[in-house]
C-alpha cells in the first residue's frame, strides 16, 4: 500500500485501501499499523484535519481493530 507523508509529530505517513477499507499508518517512532473496516470518510477527515495526531487519537485509536506490521 502506498502511503503519503503527513506533517505530524506523531504520524509519519498514511495510506488507505478503499476496496478493503484498510487504513495504514506509519508512526514517527517507526511502527506501522493497519486499521480494519475504516470508512473512506474517516480517512478523508484524517487527511484534512488540522492536526492528524489529534484526529487519530479521537477517532481511530482504540476504535478499530488494528494489526502491527
**Domain coordinates of the chain in residue numbers?**
3-68
Q: What is the mean pLDDT of the chain?
A: 97
Confidence label for 42 from pLDDT (cuts 50, 70 and 90): very high
> In whole angstroms, how far apart are CA 18 and each of 7, 23, 30, 44, 47?
22, 9, 24, 11, 14
Q: In sequence order, what are the residues at sequence separation of 6 or more whose Cβ sits closer than 8 angstroms to the Cβ of residue 48?
A: none
Query: Residue 40 and residue 14: Cα distance in Å, rounded?
Result: 13
Q: Is the C-alpha dihedral spanning 62, 63, 68, 69 positive or negative?
A: negative
Mean pLDDT across the stretch 6-14?
Answer: 96
pTM of the model: 0.95
54 pLDDT exceeds 90? yes
Residue 1 is predicted with a pLDDT of 87
Contact in structure between 23 and 66 (CB atoms under 8 Å): no
Amino acid at each position: 500500500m502506498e502511503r503519503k507523508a503527513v506533517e505530524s509529530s506523531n504520524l509519519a505517513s498514511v495510506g488507505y485501501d478503499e476496496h478493503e477499507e484498510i487504513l495504514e499508518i506509519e508512526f514517527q517512532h517507526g511502527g506501522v499499523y493497519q486499521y480494519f473496516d475504516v470508512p473512506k470518510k474517516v480517512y478523508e477527515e484524517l487527511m484534512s484535519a488540522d492536526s492528524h495526531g489529534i484526529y487519530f487519537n479521537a477517532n481511530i485509536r482504540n476504535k478499530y481493530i488494528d494489526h502491527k506490521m
